[in-house]
């Protein structure tokens, strides 16, 4: 169904409701003939469609003015005043057209007997509908702005995540070259072996640095290879303990996290044969812990700020679980969470925007189905009594024909309700905001890491 056809149907339904209300207040549905009923029904529909059109023109004109976000009250006041003025003018023109052109009354007689009574009902109905429309419009705009804000946040998080990952490549290469430089001076043969091993390690860095997560077993294997490089330089000055494999093969950590922690341990502590550095990696309550004895260097080069902070920031973008740092008098430990369930992560700015758009489209579709059902239900509640009224006043009572649309339309509503509330798994109705958040949350929970 196109938007224009949908608007026509909605306007027609509003016209039916206005006709019922207007007839109750004026004639009490005491029409002398079916022709009189059809004439007045057509007049009410004419008023509804024309007033709807001119008020839409006012709304579109004000939209082009592009009021700022802090001028919402001003925008509403202008809208109400504009609707009041054009509604009164339009009602006057329509009344002239109907009384003078259709019913053949003279213009002078029309002006002489014109009173506020002919305008009050139309103005009251129009302003009520316009007020409801503004509430719905600004509520929807508020929701769209929230979605846009979430997209910006997602894009920012994605860019930040990419920036953090891109730090790893030059950071690792820079530190590895420093080690190689030291080895060339101290032990050229070991430097040659180190270069061969470095190429294998760096291949892992290139393969894994763009991933969000890797298995703990992969990271443990890489940690062994990396420690072999460090032991090439420090020999027995480093004592290293590491488990053979993870207790849960599905558990994952951020890539190169162990390398950064091992590198920091060596960087900030003395590593000598008389004071060997003990590094132990083990599991503890869902965390992978890297612990070393604390023997700080007297003079430490200025930190680049990449290592530990990089790990903390990457985890903050992946999960609600935190990196735990525990420094005591004799040892220093960092516990990184082992994640076991997928989480929604922004792979790149483009992918995160596309994923959020898809989630929103699915949620929006579900909400549109709910709104369509409510529109059908409201129409049913007003139209069926209206048909019963027509049957009672203008039909012979031999055939109660109103039961046919009552049961037919009712069956259609039952099927629609089943599809919306039962078949789609949503047991109950709610406001648009709550439904959009609910469906988007479900999409997000399918892709989270714990």
DSSP class per residue in 119-138: HHHHHHHHHHHHHHHHHHHH
- Does residue 380 share a domain with residue 264? no
pLDDT for the residue numbered 151: 65
The count of C-alpha atoms lying within 13 angstroms of the C-alpha of 128, restricted to the half-sphere facing its C-beta, is 10
Band of residue 216 on the pLDDT scale cut at 50, 70, 90: very high
Distances (CA, A) of 168 to 134, 256, 337: 51, 8, 19
**Residue listed under structure tokens 């530990």:** 308
At residue 122, does pLDDT exceed 60? yes
Cα distance from N-terminal residue to C-terminal residue, the chain: 43
Domain boundary residue, one of 337, 365, 393: 337
Report residue 407: phi and psi, to 5°.
-75, -40
268 falls within a domain:
yes
92 falls within a domain:
no
Band of residue 344 on the pLDDT scale cut at 50, 70, 90: very low
Q: How many domains does the chain have?
A: 2
Domain boundary residue, one of 312, 337, 362: 337
- Does residue 317 share a domain with residue 187? yes
Which has more pLDDT, 359 or 377? Answer: 377
- Does residue 346 share a domain with residue 333? no
Beta strands at 252-253 and 324-327: parallel, antiparallel or unpaired: unpaired
Q: Which of 163-172, 290-299, 393-402 has the lowest mean pLDDT?
A: 163-172
Which has more pLDDT, 138 or 281? Answer: 281
97 falls within a domain:
no
- Does residue 360 share a domain with residue 317? no
What is the residue-averaged pLDDT of the chain? 76
pLDDT for the residue numbered 288: 93
Domain span at residue 197?
172-337
443 falls within a domain:
yes
Please give the Cα distance from 207 to 446 (Å, whole number): 26
For 282, the 3-state DSSP assignment is: strand
- Does residue 305 share a domain with residue 365? no
Quote the DSSP letter at residue 284. Answer: E
pTM of the model: 0.43
pLDDT for the residue numbered 242: 92
- Does residue 333 share a domain with residue 231? yes
Please give the Cα distance from 219 to 201 (Å, whole number): 12
Domain boundary residue, one of 298, 319, 337: 337
372 falls within a domain:
yes
pLDDT digits (tens, 9 = 90+) for 127-150: 887 877 777 777 777 777 777 766
């Amino acid at each position: 169904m196109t938007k224009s056809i949908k608007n026509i149907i909605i306007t027609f339904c509003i016209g039916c409701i206005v006709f019922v209300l207007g007839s109750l207040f004026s004639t009490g549905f005491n029409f002398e003939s079916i022709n009189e009923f059809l004439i007045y029904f057509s007049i009410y529909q004419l008023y509804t469609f024309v007033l709807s059109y001119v008020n839409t023109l006012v709304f579109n004109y004000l939209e082009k003015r592009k009021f700022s976000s802090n001028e919402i009250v001003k925008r509403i006041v202008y809208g109400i005043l504009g609707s009041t003025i054009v509604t009164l003018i339009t009602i006057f023109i329509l009344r002239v057209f109907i009384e003078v052109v259709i019913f053949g009354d003279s213009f002078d007689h029309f002006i002489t007997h014109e009173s506020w009574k002919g305008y009050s009902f139309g103005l009251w109905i129009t302003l009520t509908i316009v007020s409801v429309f503004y509430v719905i419009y600004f509520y929807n705009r508020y929701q769209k702005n929230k979605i846009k804000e979430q997209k910006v946040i997602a894009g920012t998080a994605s860019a930040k995540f990419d920036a953090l990952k891109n730090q790893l490549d030059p950071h690792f290469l820079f530190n590895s070259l420093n080690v190689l430089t030291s080895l060339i001076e101290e032990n050229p043969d070991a430097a040659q072996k180190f270069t061969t091993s470095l190429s294998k390690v760096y291949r892992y860095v290139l393969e894994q640095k763009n991933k969000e997560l890797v298995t703990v077993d992969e990271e443990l294997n890489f940690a062994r290879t990396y420690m072999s490089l460090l032991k090439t330089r420090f020999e027995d000055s480093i004592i290293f303990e590491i488990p053979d494999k993870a207790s849960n093969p599905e558990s994952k950590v951020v890539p190169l996290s162990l390398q950064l922690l091992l590198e920091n341990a060596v960087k900030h502590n003395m590593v000598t044969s008389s004071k060997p550095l003990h590094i132990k990696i083990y599991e503890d309550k869902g965390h992978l812990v890297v612990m070393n004895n604390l023997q700080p260097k007297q003079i430490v080069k200025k930190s680049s700020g990449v290592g530990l902070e990089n790990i903390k920031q990457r985890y903050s973008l992946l999960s609600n679980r935190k990196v735990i740092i525990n420094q005591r008098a004799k040892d220093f430990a960092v516990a990184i969470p082992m994640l076991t369930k997928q989480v929604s992560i922004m792979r790149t700015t483009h992918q995160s925007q596309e994923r959020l758009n898809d989630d929103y489209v699915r949620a929006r579709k579900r909400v549109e189905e709910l709104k369509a059902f409510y529109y059908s239900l409201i129409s049913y509640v007003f139209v069926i009594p209206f048909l019963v009224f027509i049957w009672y006043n203008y039909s012979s009572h031999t055939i109660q024909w109103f039961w046919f649309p009552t049961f037919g339309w009712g069956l259609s509503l039952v099927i629609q309700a089943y599809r919306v509330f039962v078949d789609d798994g949503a047991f109950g109705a709610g406001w648009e905001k709550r439904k959009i958040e609910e469906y988007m949350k479900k999409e997000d929970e399918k892709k989270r890491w714990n």
